[in-house]
Amino acid sequence: MAFEGLSSRLQGAVKRLGRKGKITEADLKEMMREVRLALLEADVNFKVVKEFVKKVNERALGANVIEALSPAQQVVDIVNEELTILMGTEQVPFQFSVKPPTVVMMVGLQGAGKTTTVGKLANYLKKHHHKRPLLVAGDIYRPAAIEQLKTIGNQLDMPVFSLGDTLSPVDIAKQAVDKAILDGRDLVIIDTAGRLHVNEELMSELENIKAATNPTEILLVVDAMTGQDAVNVAQAFNDRLDITGVVITKLDGDTRGGAALSIRQITGKPIKFTGQGEKLDNIEPFYPERMASRILGMGDMMTLIERAKQEFDEKEAEKMAAKIRENTFNFNDFIAQMDQMANMGPLEDLLKMIPGISNMPGIDKVKVDPKDMAHMKAIILSMTPAERENPDLLSQSRRKRIAKGSGQTLMQVNRMIKQFNESRKMMNQMSKGNMSGLENLMGTGIKGKLGKLAMKQMMKKASKKAKKKKR
Ligand SMILES: Nc1nc2c(ncn2[C@@H]2O[C@H](COP(=O)(O)OP(=O)(O)OP(=O)(O)O)[C@@H](O)[C@H]2O)c(=O)[nH]1
Ligand SMILES: [Mg+2]
């Protein structure tokens, strides 16, 4: 798969960071070193790498991730966002001419995938935009080029405009546009010849085709396998032709993918499509965000972060953490946390989405019984507001009343209150001590989930203890 090296290195760096409850400036430095190496190894242009690392580092320090409740998470978030920005932030759609036909020039070096992409793009725009394409055989130099395009036209059941190999490509292109207008074709895609290297002859021919046909899109086709050189090639084509976009082909291959990461930054021109195979429907619009997630291998984790962000009010989290510290965490807070969790879907699912957690020993045995939760909630809801605020008010007579009100036995009520008090004490101690974990756990979204989990485990322990005592 493309980006494999980059992905595994970045994920490795993230994982190492992810195990820490707190990170230091040294951790951050080490992480940035890894990110830098990962990008360089993936053949990302060194200027791009330098700029990228600088930006991520500045943001991480600026966001004070070292002080933050979830430093690792925030660093990952920043890397993901910057990767997205690096690749262009938004999907840039294919442009159509206001006045048909829309003319497209496909340009690029030899073997990049121009001819194939002519077919793919025609196929795509017919399918998704109901266009009526005319394919133009503008490569008169490579002997089999015309036949290759005709075969593609046959496969797609689309007309191919060819005048053989005696007229100049400029004339062919010009006549093709006239023919399209005559036949009511609203899309003209011109295949052009490739060269091994950028050279003057090629560039001036392409300039002439551009002048003769006034294309709306000039798409540079770049093979994803091209390493560092991709950037120079893109720059050369852009300088002469002022390209409108880039198509990265062969992303299905075993490529390091550096080209995809550098070109936007260096040329300022968007990647519009990617080719992911030899078949004529292996083309997709390029989405920077999706590509970044794919590179980080964190599609799931990003979803989780997004969900947590939506569901959780950061201020509430702060408040909760403070309450634990000050030992004023009460039943209302407890219920609020429970509801919070319910909004986020089953806890087990959430845990599975967090890299590093999913393979923690024993984690798969953690089962959160919704019935348990419901019982706890019923008991709490049978308390008066004052009792919920202040668990110390709960005398035996009050507990009897609560048991009745909640349909639970007195024993169940006692046990629940005891568990609550014990966990509260434990959380308070942890928040004061070196176990930075718990305050975090009760903090922001994801941690809120973990907080629940920790609480649950503590409660289990407490109840086992209670049982032992009784015997
Ligand atoms: N795996 C894979 N192969 C591709 C992709 N795009 C093109 N190819 C293959 O790459 C080879 C070259 O593709 P062409 O479309 O002929 O490239 P070209 O730029 O027109 O080449 P010239 O006309 O010689 O300059 C062909 O074997 C294609 O099947 C892709 O996205 N994935
Ligand atoms: Mg070709």
Q: Is the pLDDT of residue 61 over 80?
A: yes
pLDDT band at 196 (very low <50, low <70, confident <90, very high): confident
How far apart CA 28 and CA 46 sit, in angstroms, is 20
Average pLDDT of every residue of the chain: 79
The number of angstroms, rounded, from the C-alpha of 6 to the middle of its chain's C-alpha atoms is: 14
**C-alpha 277 – ligand 2 centre gap (Å):** 16
pLDDT at 361 over 80: no
The atom number, within ligand 1, closest to the CA of 148 reads 16
Q: Which residue has the higher pLDDT, 416 or 113?
A: 113
Mutate to test the pocket of ligand 1, among 233, 278, 286 (most ligand atoms within 8 A of CB): 278
- Please tell me the predicted confidence (pLDDT) of residue 466: 45
Q: Which ligand is nearest to the CA of 283?
A: 1
Q: Which residues line ligand 1 (CB under 6 A)?
A: 108, 110-116, 139, 142, 145, 194, 221, 249-250, 252-253, 275-278, 282
Mean pLDDT of 354-358: 44
Which residue has better confidence, 300 or 103? 103
Give the pair of three-digit tokens for residue 4: 């494999």
Segment 237-255 shows an average pLDDT of 91
The rounded distance, in Å, linking the Cα atoms of 333 and 323 is 9
The pLDDT value given to residue 242: 97
What is the Å distance from ligand 1's center to 275 Cα?
10
For range 366-376, the mean pLDDT? 68
What is the rounded average pLDDT of the residues 16-23? 67
Enter the pTM of the model.
0.65
Which single residue is written with the structure tokens 């993230």?
14
pLDDT on residue 383: 92
Q: In angstroms, rounded to a whole number, what is the distance separating the alpha carbons of residues 185 and 178?
A: 10
Vertex 55 angle, CA 302 and 25, to 5° = 85
Confidence of residue 441 (pLDDT cuts 50, 70, 90): very low
**pLDDT average, residue stretch 300-325:** 57
CA of 110 to the centre of ligand 1 (A): 9
Rounded to the nearest angstrom, the distance between the alpha carbon of 191 and the centre of ligand 2 is: 7
